[in-house]
Chains A and B, each alone.
Chain A
Amino acid sequence: MISKILIANRGEIAVRIIRACKEMGIETVQVYSKADKDSLAVKMADRAVCIGPPPATESYLFYQNILSAALAVKADAIHPGYGFLAENPHFADACRALKLIFIGPKSNVIRRMGDKAKAKELMRESGVPVVPGSDGIVESLDNAHEVVEKTGFPVIIKASAGGGGKGMRIVLEKADLEKAFNYASVEAQQAFGDSRVYIERYIGDPKHIEVQILGDRHGNVVHLFERDCSIQRRHQKLVEEAPSPSIDKDTRKKLGDIAVKAALSVEYDSAGTIEFLYDIGTKEFYFMEMNTRIQVEHPVSEEITGIDLIKSQIRIANGEKLDFKQKNIVRNGHSIECRINAEDPENDFKPSPGKITQLMIPGGPGVRVDSGVYPGYSIPPYYDSMVAKLITRGTDRREAVDRMKRALDEFHIEGIKTTIPFHKEVMKSKEFLSGQYTTDFVNKYMG
């Protein structure tokens, strides 16, 4: 029985977890770096333990101190949130070795899904559509030529151990393949210490659609419909909504079924997300990757289904069965999330850490704000720049958008620059309102 949870994260997600724990009557222990000693999570938790200096490598990633803290306070479980150690299979194993419950999936699932090429192979075997490309790793240039014979151009070369655009190359024609292959391998080796790459057909101008999954330790898996996260800048999501405005009923059903099938194939037992590339033209979707953790944008799924994903995660980790079936999950209304970052949108999104001198949080019907800040709080420069997530819900998309516009107008943060003006522009944009926007939206319309 979980009665005390240590939260191995910071910022808004730490606050979100503490809130869920309080509602469940679970004691909370917040770990923090010296830069976070005044954070909202530290103030809200029942207990707080300092785990090191500001750099994440010496605090939130320094798992030795986190585990020591968990043992010292006699916690039963650790919630890793997102980022930091959330998708580190070794951390999950280390928790188990110390008889601490890791609130997340089994380590072998994290491991299998963490290797992108292997994950794709596994999904292909389970009948999940994947972008045409190499069967796993491309060992040599000859091998690369064989692959592109089958897929045609354009193709994208990606690092197997990668992320964040490193080790990635788009190749438009055969003549560029050799150079791009060599560059991608070298870059992958430098960035991740692993030169292995894979190749797939490049789907130009797609949508990023992901399906929220919940699985328990008794073989039950359900989906909570999709989210559309196509509004991105340099692979960072900025606006998310559920459901996707450009997916019809049949595609939605197909996506949900496929996602459940994929999760069942790896005996998935926590909250997770399966990401797909969606081609609006052909209505085809392809598996991209699985995130074996809670996502930043989970609130939009919570808003349209009424299911608390953090509480569900905790209950599953406690060995409980999901207390609902797929047929009980009803989609209700529409929800949008804007990530309010401490960045200056007029200055190429340059980070803008500093002290929040005044803060006015929007409210009223259908508005939710998940945040870790308060007036007088100084945003430290060491971590990501997210200040708050502004989430609105409406009976339909129109109402959710109108509420978002209203809530953005109400939202006042002084002392730092934020992305609020950017979001106001997005909400006004014809392309966004049409719902037919793709991952190229920011480049095309907001440049």
Chain B
Amino acid sequence: MSRLFPKCTRCNTSHFVTFLKSAHYVCSKCGFHLRLDVSTRIKMLCDKKTFKEIDKDIKSVDVLDFPKYMDRLQKSKKETGINEAVVTGECKIKGFPTTLGIMEPGFIMASMGSVVGEKITRQLEYARENNLPAIIIISSGGARMHEGIFSLMQMAKTSAAVKRLNDKGLPLFTVLADPTTGGVTASYAMLGDVIIAEPDALIGFAGPRVIEQTIGQSLPQGFQRSEFLLEHGMLDMIVSRKQLRATLGTLLSIHSVRPYEGEV
């Protein structure tokens, strides 16, 4: 029954699964944008049958011999049907070609290990080589602790790749979904030329509880939520999921370096 009637993770209202799907997985009661898997995102954003995945077979290894890491990886692979917490590729949105990376929150909370960092970097390099813009849909718990310092290295690597993309005059659009935290926020998520967020998404570096305990103060209302961040100049816009494809299409039409190819 819970698969047929999943609950909103914010207000706990049950929704019939196809109702939820038709509403782009936005709770009709409280408006919360629920977490989305990669294949749903692709269907929602890309022109039909245009998404071509790249670097599909890069898989993580357990360099630190971290307890139960391989088990977690196996479990996530089985549950999500993908090899790592990000899927990258090339597609068209509203007829405009672009590269697209989508993070999978169901895969160890889309934490960034060596493979996630590598795939994002390769996506940005692919964009640069092929004169394409880059879009990354982000939802991540941050750096992957199972890979220690190797995962922290990915912050610098991905940031450098964004710089090289920008040097060629190509844009990066980042879309921050709930939650975007830790090392991902502190690297490519906040390096977009246009930073978009879904409404009411948690976006931050350290979590609110950690901050509260560290500074010994209570935090303002709405702290680390999209609307708060927009008000404080950290974001460019908040776009509801229903409008996301149209908004990305408009951005691509403005910044596209290739002629319109007319397929929708």
Q: Which residues of A are at the interface with B, using a C-beta cutoff of 8 A? A: 57, 62-64, 67, 89-91, 93-94, 97, 139-140, 189, 193, 195
CA distance A63 to B13 in the complex (A): 11
Q: Is the beta-carbon distance between B264 and A90 smaller than 8 angstroms?
A: no
Q: Which of B16-24, B68-76, B196-204 contacts A (4 or more CB under 8 A)?
A: B16-24
Partner of A63, one of B4, B19, B22: B19
B253 within 8 A of A: no
Asked if B216 CB lies within 8 Å of chain A CBs, one says: no
Judge whether A193 and B18 touch: CB under 8 Å: no
> With the chains together, A45 CA to B28 CA distance in Å?
30
CB of B262 closer than 8 Å to a CB of A: yes
Query: Contact partner of B16 among A57, A97, A140, CB < 8 A?
Result: A97
B264/A93 in contact, CB under 8 A: no
In the assembled complex, how far is the CB of residue A115 from the closest CB belonging to chain B, in whole angstroms?
A: 12
Pick the residue among A63, A97, A139 that contacts B264 (CB under 8 A).
Answer: A139
Verify if B64 is at the interface (C-beta below 8 Å from A): no
Chain A residues positioned under 8 Å from B242 (CB to CB): 193
Contacts of A90 in B (CB 8 A): 16, 18-19, 22
| A94 and B19 contact, CB distance less than 8 A | yes
Q: What are 27 residue pairs bridging A and B, where the CB atoms are less than 8 Å apart in the complex? A: A57-B28, A62-B29, A63-B19, A64-B13, A64-B14, A64-B15, A67-B16, A89-B18, A90-B16, A90-B18, A90-B19, A90-B22, A91-B16, A91-B19, A93-B18, A94-B16, A94-B18, A94-B19, A97-B4, A97-B16, A139-B264, A140-B262, A140-B264, A189-B243, A193-B242, A193-B243, A195-B246
User: Considering only CB atoms, which chain A residue lies closest to B28 in the complex?
Assistant: A57
Closest chain-B Cβ to A66's Cβ sits at a distance in Å of: 11
Give how many B residues have a beta carbon under 8 Å from the other chain's beta carbons. Answer: 15
Point out the residues of chain A lying under 8 angstroms from B18, CB to CB.
Answer: 89-90, 93-94
From residue B252, how far is it (CB to closest CB) to chain A in Å? 15
A93 to B13: give the CA distance in the assembly, Å: 18
Given contacts A97-B4, A139-B264, A140-B262, contact A63 B246 (CB under 8 A): no
Query: How many pairs of A and B residues are in contact by the CB < 8 Å rule?
Result: 31
Instruction: State how many angstroms separate the Cβ of B259 from the closest Cβ of chain A.
Output: 14
CA of A236 to CA of B242, assembled, Å: 29
Query: In the complex, what's the smallest C-beta–C-beta distance from A155 to chain B, in angstroms?
Result: 21
Shortest beta-carbon distance from A142 to chain B in Å = 8
Q: From residue B29, how far is it (CB to closest CB) to chain A in Å?
A: 8
Q: Which 8 residue pairs spanning A and B have beta carbons closest together?
A: A94-B16, A90-B19, A193-B242, A90-B18, A97-B4, A139-B264, A93-B18, A64-B14
* A57-B14 Cα distance, complex, nearest whole Å: 15
B19 closest partner in A (C-beta): A90
C-alpha gap A189/B264 in the complex (Å): 16
Give bound CA distance, A26 to B16, whole Å: 28
A189 to B18, CA, bound (A): 21
Residues of A within 8 A of B22 (CB): 90
Nearest residue (CB) in B for A139 is B264
The distance from the CB of A56 to the nearest CB of chain B, in whole angstroms, is 12
Chain A positions within 8 Å of B14 at CB level: 64
A193 to B23, CA, bound (A): 10
Compute how far the CA of A189 lies from the CA of B246 in the bound complex, rounded to whole angstroms: 9
Q: Which of B27-41 contact A (CB under 8 A)?
A: 28-29
Cα distance A97–B4 in the bound complex, in angstroms = 8
B243 / chain A contacts, CB cutoff of 8 Å: 189, 193
The CA of A193 and the CA of B244, in the complex, are separated in Å by 11
| A91 to B19 Cα, complex, angstroms | 8
Interchain CA distance A91-B18 in the complex, whole Å? 9
Residues of B within 8 A of A62 (CB): 29
* B residues less than 8 Å from A140 (CB atoms): 262, 264
A62 to B13, CA, bound (A): 11
**In the complex, what's the smallest C-beta–C-beta distance from A135 to chain B, in angstroms?**
15
Distance in Å: Cβ of A70 to nearest Cβ of chain B: 13
Kindly list chain A residues whose C-beta atoms are within 8 Å of the C-beta of B264: 139-140
Complex CA gap A193/B14 in Å reads: 23
Closest CB in chain B relative to A196 CB, distance in Å: 10
Given A63-B19, A93-B16, 4 more A-B residue pairs with CB atoms under 8 Å apart are: A91-B19, A94-B18, A94-B19, A193-B243
Bound together, the chains give a CA A195 to CA B18 distance in angstroms of 21
In the bound complex, residues from chain A placing their C-beta under 8 Å from that of B4 are 97
A341 CB, nearest partner CB in chain B, Å: 29
CA distance A93 to B15 in the complex (A): 12
Q: How far is the CA of A152 from the CA of B138 in the complex (A)?
A: 48
Quote the shortest CB–CB distance from A228 to chain B (angstroms): 35
- With both chains docked as a complex, state the minimum distance between the C-beta of A84 and any C-beta of chain B, in angstroms: 14
CA distance A311 to B228 in the complex (A): 56
CB distance from B98 to the nearest CB of A (A): 19
Q: With the chains together, A195 CA to B250 CA distance in Å?
A: 13
Give the residues in chain A near B262, CB-CB below 8 Å. 140
Identify the interface centre among A67, A90, A139, A189: most chain B CB within 10 Å of its CB: A90
* Distance A57 CA – B27 CA, assembled complex (angstroms): 13
Residues of A within 8 A of B19 (CB): 63, 90-91, 94
Which of B16, B28, B243 lies at the interface centre, i.e. has the most chain A CB atoms within 10 A of its CB?
B16
Chain B contacts of A67 at CB under 8 A? 16
B residues in contact with A139, CB < 8 Å? 264
The distance in angstroms between the C-alpha atoms of A67 and B13, with both chains bound, is 13
Residues from chain A with Cβ under 8 Å of B16 in the complex = 63-64, 67, 90-91, 93-94, 97
Separation in Å of the A379 CB from the closest CB of chain B? 27
Instruction: For residue A62, give the distance in angstroms from its CB to the closest CB of chain B.
Output: 8
Min CB–CB distance B22 → chain A (angstroms): 6
B132-163 toward A: CB 8 Å interface, digit per residue (1/0)? 00000000000000000000000000000000
Q: Per-position contact with A for B212-248: 1 when CB-CB < 8 Å, else 0?
A: 0000000000000000000000000000001100100
List the A residue with the shortest CB-CB distance to B15: A64
**For the complex, what is the distance from the CA of A140 to the CA of B94, rounded to whole Å?**
11
